Amino acid sequence: MNYRKLGKTGFNISELSLGTWQVGGKWGDPFSHDNADKILNKAIDSGINFIDTADVYNDGDSEKAVGRLLRKRTEGVYVATKCGRQLNPHVSEAYQPEALRKFVHDSLKRMQMET
């Protein structure tokens, strides 16, 4: 696996990342922790250390699966999550700093992670 420095952070990020939309499972199918663990473990075992997720992937189950698995692993893995799709109403005026802070807080809570 090849890695690159992320800007001035000093973080060495794998050139490949894992998008975890599929970790949440197929639409309408029950969520499978075994399947999620299999996908995430294979990626990390292959050297991927950057995982992309979102609060809306299977209504947060993807974030929960990522957090649950990473608490069991010792490798340094970086996580990026997207947020804001759960705004109701979904209008641009609702994207305020306090809403963003809540999205971040909720994602960290689902993943049981700290920054």
**Which of 3, 57, 78, 95 does the annotation list as catalytic?**
57
> Three-class SS string for 6-23?
CCCCCCEEECCCEECCHH
- How do residues 34-81 score in pLDDT, each as one tens digit? 989 999 999 999 999 999 999 988 888 899 999 999 999 988 999 999
Spatial distance between the Cα atoms of 17 and 47, rounded to a whole number of angstroms:
10
Structural domains of the chain, ranges and CATH numbers in brackets: 3-111 (3.20.20.100)
Question: Model's pTM, two decimal places?
Answer: 0.86
> Is 95 tagged catalytic?
no
